Structure 1
Amino acid sequence: MKKIALHWQIVIGLVLGIVWALLSSKLGWSQFTIDWVAPFGTIFINLLKLIAVPLVLFSIINGVAGIGDPANLGRMGAKTLLAYLLTTIFAVGLGLILVNLIKPGELIDQQSRIDNRISYELWAESENLQIKDGIDYLHDPAFQERALEITDLSRAELNDSSVDEKMEEADKAKQDGPLKPLVDIVPSNIFESLADNGLMLQVIFFALFFGIALLFIPAEKSIPVINFVEGVMEVFLKMVDLIMKAAPFFVFALLAGVVSKMAGDDVGKVVEIFKGLSWYSLTVTLGLLLMILVVYPLLMKLFVKVVPYVDLFKAIGPAQTLAFSTSSSAATLPVTLECVEENLKVDKKITSFVLPIGATVNMDGTCLYQSVAVVFLAQLHMIDLTLGQQLTIVLTATLASIGSAAVPSAGLVMLIIVLQSVGLNPAWIAIILPVDRILDMIRTVVNVTGDVTVSSIIAKGENMMYYEGEKAVKT
C-alpha cells in the first residue's frame, strides 16, 4: 500500500467500507458493524477535531503576524472575504438555475403533489399565512373529499424528534436581534470557545485580535511569541501526518458505519430512500459536481494559470477524499493546509490566514444544496416561487452560510431559516432528511475545494505561490 498515493488509499478504504456495509446488511451483521467497526470512524473524526480548533487558533495568529504590515492584512482580508462571497453567490445561482431547468419536484406523480399541496394549505391556514400564489385546493369542491381523507403531512413531520431539535435551533436563531451575529463573534471566554466546535468564528476573532496585537509591540518581545506559535503549529502538523497514516482504515470504518446505520439489515432501504428522492439527489449532485469539476478548475485556470487540471486534483485529492468521508470542512482543515502548502506550494502566510476563515465562512456546497432543496420542496407541493422569492433564497442562503458551523448536517438548521424566509413549512426538511447525510459528504468536498481555490487565487495575487509543475505534487 505504501507505493499507492494517499488519496487513492483513502478512496480504496472508502469503497471497501461501503461494500462491507452492504454485505453486512445482506448477511444480517449490521449491528456488529455499528458496534465494532463504526466506533473507529468516530475516533478518526474526534482526532481530527482535536487538532482542528487549536490549529485554526495558532495558524491564524502565525499568518497575521507573518504579514507584518497591518495595511497588508486589511487588503488581504477584504480580498479573501470578497472572493468567498462571490463564489457563494455563484453556487446559489447555479443551484437555482439547475432546479428550475430540471424541475425535480414536478417529476413526482400528480396525485402525491396534490396531496402535498392540500397539506401545505392546511399548514398555512393553521399558521395564519397567506397563500402567495392565490391557488386554493383546500376549498375547491373537487378536492374537498380528498382534503378530509389525507393526513396532514406537516403535523406528522413535526413529531419527528430530529426535526423538532433543528426547528428549535432555527427558532432561537430567528428570535435573536439584528446585531446578534456580530455579538456572537466576540467571545467572553476564549477557553469556552475553544471547547465548542460551533464557536469557530469566536476562535478566529481572538486569533486575529491576538495576531494584530503582535504587530504593534516591539520585535524583541513579539519574536519569542511568534517562534512559540510556529513551533506549536509544526507539532500539530506532525500530528496530522501520524493520523493520516491510518486514514484508509479509519475511512473504511467511517463509511461502513454510515451506510450500516442507513440500511440496517435490509439493503433495500438504501435503494428505496434514493428511489423516492432520486431526481432531487441527482440535481443536487449535478450542481455540486459542476462546482468541483468545472467552476473551481476554471477559476484556477483564469486567475492562477500555473496548475494544470489533473495536477490540481492530484494535489488536493487527500483533502477531498477526507472531506467526503468526514462531512466536516473543519475536521478536514489540517489536511487541507498540508495539501495546499506542500503540493500547491502556497506560502504559509496565505494558507494560515485564508483557509481557516474559509473552513468557517465558505459554504458553497451547502448554499447550492439549500437553493435546490427549497425550490424542490416548493415544486413538490405545487408552489410556484416568484423571481423575488428566489432572490430572497439567494440572500438568505448566503447570509445563513456565514454563521453555519463547519460540522456535519449544520446546513439543515440553516435550511429551516431559508424555508421560512419564503413562507414555506420548515418541517419539510423531514422529506429530504433520508438522503442528507450522503449529499452532505459531497457538498463538503465542494466547500473544501472552494477553500483551496480561493487561497490559491489570493496567493497568486500576492505573489506567494511557488508551484513549479507536477514535480511539486507529493501525495
Structure 2
Amino acid sequence: MAERKQWAQPKKSMPLYGRIFIALGVGIAFGYILNAIGGTHQPVINNHILPFLQFLGDFFIKLIKMVVVPLVFFCIVDAALSLGDINKLKSVGVTTIIWFLATGMISAMIGLFWVNLIQPGKGLQLGTVGSGVKTKALPGMYQTILDFIPANPFESLTSGSMMQIIVFSLFIGFAIISLGEKAEPLGKIFSMLSMVMFKIVDYVIAIIPVGVFGLMSTTMTKYGTAIFGPVLKFILTDYLACLSTTFGIYTLLLIFIGRVNVFTFWKKAFASWLVAFSTCTSSAALPVSMDIAPNKMGAPKDISSFILPLGCTAQMNGTCAYFAVVILFAAQLYGVELSLPQQILLCVQATFLSVGCAATPQIGLVISLTLMTQMGLPLDGYSLVAGIYRIVDQIHTATNSVGDLVATVCISNLQNELDHEKFDDLTLLDQKDGAS
C-alpha cells in the first residue's frame, strides 16, 4: 500500500498584537488574583512574586531605552537622505517640509486640547511624585532655538537630548546630500545602519508580550480594577484627537487650500485609510496611495512620488497627537502639573521626533518612552499604554496615511498642477488599480 502523503499547511504565527492582547489579558487576570489575595500586603507576593514581575517589565523598558537614541539618530539621517537632492528642497520640497511640520504641530496641540479637557489620568493616583518632580524653567524663544543646537553632539547622544540629536542628524544628512557622489558610500552606510536599528527594534518588539505581562501584572497587583477607567478614557481621548485632525483639520485644508470636494476625496481615499487602519503601517497603504493620488485624484506623478514616500516617514500627525496625549496622561497619573508653555514645548519636541518615526508598527510606543523619560515621568504607567497600544495605533496610522494624500492634493493645487476634472470624476473609482 502506497504511503499516503500529507501536505501540511505551514502554521501561521499569531500576529504580534494578538500575542500582546493575550499577555495583557493574562497579566490582568494574574494581577487581579494576586491583588484579591492580599496584593502588596501579602509578604510572599510583595517580596518574591512582585519583584520578578517588575523585573520582566523593567527588562523590556531597558531594552527600549537602549535602542531609542541610535534609532532616532540613524533614521533621521536616513530621512534627510531620502530627499535625494538639495534642489528638491526648493519649491515643492520646502512647501512639503513646512506642511509636515505645521500639520504635525497642529495635531499635537489638538491632542493637548482633548487630554486637558477629558483628563484621562485623573482619578487614579499611581504615585505621589508630583511634588518631587523638578521641572526646568522654560527658556525664552531665542534660548529655546539655541538649545536645539548641540554644543557637543557626542554628549547629546550620550545624554539622550533628542532635539539636539535631531538637529545634528539633519545637518549630517544634508551635508551628505550636498557632497554628492563623493559621500554616497557614507550615505549608504547610514541607510544600512538605519535598517540595522529597525532590525534590532524588531527583536525588542518581539518581547513586548513578556514586558506587557510583567508591567500589567505589577500594576494590577498594586492598584486592582481601578486602572480600567483611566485606560478607557485614554483610548477615547486618543481617538478624539486623531478624528478631530482627520475630519476637522484635513477638511479645512482640503476646502480652503486644496479647493476640492471633501466627500469626493473620502470616496477615493477610503481604501488607503482602511489599509492603514487594519495593518497599523503606512508602508502597507503606500502602494494604494501611490495609485490613488495620480490616477484617481489628478495629482501630478512627480509631486505624488515625492510627497507620499517622504510622508511615510516625515508626516506623522496621528502619532504627534498621541505623543501629546500619552505624556499628559502619564503626568496626570502621577499628579505632575505641566505648565502651558511646557506643553507647547512638548508639542515642538513631539513634532520633530515624529519626523524620525518610520512607518513601522509599534514605533510610536518605542518613541513615547523617550518623551516620558525626558519629561522626568515615572514609567510604571507605561504598561497601561503598552497593553492597548494596538487599539490606538490603528487610528494613528490611518490619520498619518490619509494625511499624506491630503498633503499631495493640497500642495499639487498650490503648485497649480492638480487636475480638478480628474479629481471630480467618480467613474475612476471603478478602474482597476494601476490604471491611468
TM-score band by shorter chain is 0.5 to 0.7
Q: Give 2:412's aligned residue.
A: 459
Aligned partner of residue 360 in structure 1, secondary structure: helix
Are the structure 2 counterparts of residues 198 and 431 from structure 1 closer, same or farther at C-alpha, using a change threshold of 3 Å?
farther
Of 403, 426, 433, the residue aligned with 1:471 is: 426
Structure 2 distance, partners of 1:100, 1:290, is 15
What is the match of residue 351 of structure 1? 304
C-alpha deviation, 1:276, in angstroms: 5.4
Q: What is the deviation of 1:336?
A: 1.1
CA offsets per residue over residues 140-187 of structure 1, 9 Å max, x none? xxxxxxxxxxxxxxxxxxxxxxxxxxxxxx988548856145436757
Amino acid at match of 1:423: G
Map 1:13-32 to 2 at 5 A. none
SS of residue matched to 2:336: coil
> Aligned AA for 1:282?
L
| CA gap 1:431/1:184 in 2 versus in 1, 3 angstroms | farther
1: CA distance, partners of 2:194 / 2:426: 40
1:284 aligns with 2:238: yes
Please state how far the C-alpha of 1:359 moved relative to its aligned partner.
0.9
Distance 2:113 2:264 in 1: 30
Aligned match of 2:258? 304
Amino acid of the structure 1 residue aligned with 2:331: A
Q: In the alignment, is residue 130 of structure 1 matched against residue 138 of structure 2?
A: no
Q: Kindly indicate whether the alpha-carbon contact (under 8 Å) linking 2:130 and 2:337 is maintained by their aligned counterparts in 1.
A: no
Q: CA deviation at 1:100?
A: 0.8
Whether contact under 8 Å (2:272, 2:288) holds in the other structure is yes
Question: Take 1:386 and 1:132, find their aligned partners in 2: how far apart are those partners?
Answer: 11
- Cα-to-partner distance string for 1:371-414 (whole Å, 9 max, x where unaligned): 01111111121222111221221121011111122211111222
Q: Could you tell me how far 1:422 is from its partner in structure 2?
A: 2.6
Q: What aligned pairs does 1:173-252 form with structure 2 within 5 A after superposition? A: 173-174=160-161, 179-183=168-172, 186=176, 188=186, 190=188, 193=191
CA contact (8 A) 2:130 2:335 kept: no
What is the rounded CA distance, in whole Å, between the counterparts of 2:330 and 2:189 in structure 1? 41
Equivalent in 323, 328, 332 of residue 379 of structure 1 = 332
Residues 272/383 of structure 1: CA separation in 2 closer, same or farther (3 Å cut): closer
How many angstroms does 1:452 deviate by?
0.8
Aligned residues of 2:311 and 2:404 also touching (Cα < 8 A): yes
Determine if contact 1:392/1:422 at 8 Å carries over to the other structure. Answer: no
Q: Distance in 1 between matches of 2:193 and 2:283?
A: 14
**Partner secondary structure for residue 90 of structure 2:** helix
Deviation of the 1:474 alpha carbon: 1.4
* Corresponding position of 1:402: 355
Q: Distance in 1 between matches of 2:411 and 2:135?
A: 46
Kept after mapping to 1: 8 A contact 2:276/2:401: yes
Say which SS state the counterpart of residue 344 (structure 1) adopts.
Answer: coil
Q: Does 1:420 align with 2:436?
A: no
Tell me the distance in 2 between the aligned counterparts of 1:76 and 1:183.
22
Unpaired runs of 5+ residues, structure 1, are 1-33, 43-55, 65-69, 134-169, 201-261, 264-268
Q: Distance in 1 between matches of 2:373 and 2:342?
A: 11
- Per the alignment, residue 87 of structure 1 pairs with 103
Q: 1:283 to 1:38 in 2, by over 3 A?
A: same
Report what 2:41 is aligned to: none
Read off the aligned partner of 2:235 and give its amino acid letter. S
Q: Partner letter of residue 474 of structure 1?
A: L
The amino acid of 2:249's aligned partner reads V
C-alpha spacing 1:38/1:470, structure 2 compared with 1 (3 Å): farther
Q: Do the aligned residues in 2 keep the contact of 1:95 with 1:284 (CA within 8 Å)?
A: yes
Whole-Å separation in 1 of the counterparts to 2:15 and 2:376: 41
Structure 1 residues 132 and 400: alpha-carbon distance in aligned structure 2, compared to 1, 3 A threshold: closer
Asked if the contact 2:333–2:381 (Cα under 8 Å) also holds between the matched residues in 1, the reply is no
* C-alpha distance in 1 between matches for 2:109 and 2:196: 27
2:249 corresponds to: 295
What code does the residue aligned with 1:105 have? G
Structure 1 residues 189, 305: closer, same or farther in 2, change over 3 A? closer
* Alpha-carbon offset, residue 421 of structure 1: 3.2
What do residues 310-346 of structure 1 show as CA deviations (whole Å, max 9, x unaligned)?
2111111111111011111123211111111121111
> Is 2:120 the counterpart of 1:104?
yes
Change (3 A) 1:39 1:412: closer
- Residue pair 1:330, 1:406 contacting (<8 A) in 2 also: yes
Partners of 1:411 and 1:41 in 2: CA distance: 14
C-alpha distance 179-279 of structure 1, shift in aligned 2 (>3 A) = same
Q: In the aligned structure 1, how far is the partner of 2:352 from the partner of 2:83?
A: 23
Gap change, CA 1:73 and 1:103, over 3 Å in 2: closer
Q: 5+ unaligned residues in a row in structure 2: which ranges?
A: 1-9, 19-78, 138-156, 177-184, 199-211, 214-219, 431-436
The whole-number CA distance in structure 2 between the counterparts of 1:72 and 1:416 is 33
Normalised TM-score (structure 2)? 0.61
What is the CA–CA distance in structure 1 between the aligned matches of 2:158 and 2:259, rounded to whole Å? Answer: 45
Q: Deviations over 1:268-316 (max 9, x none)?
A: x9x999765111100110111111122212210111223x222111111
More moved, 182-191 vs 96-105: 182-191
CA contact (8 A) 1:393 1:421 kept: no
Deviations 1:33-66 (A, max 9, x none): x954757999xxxxxxxxxxxxx9xx977xx8xx
1:434 paired with 2:423, answer: no
The counterpart of 2:91, out of the listed 75, 80, 85, is 75
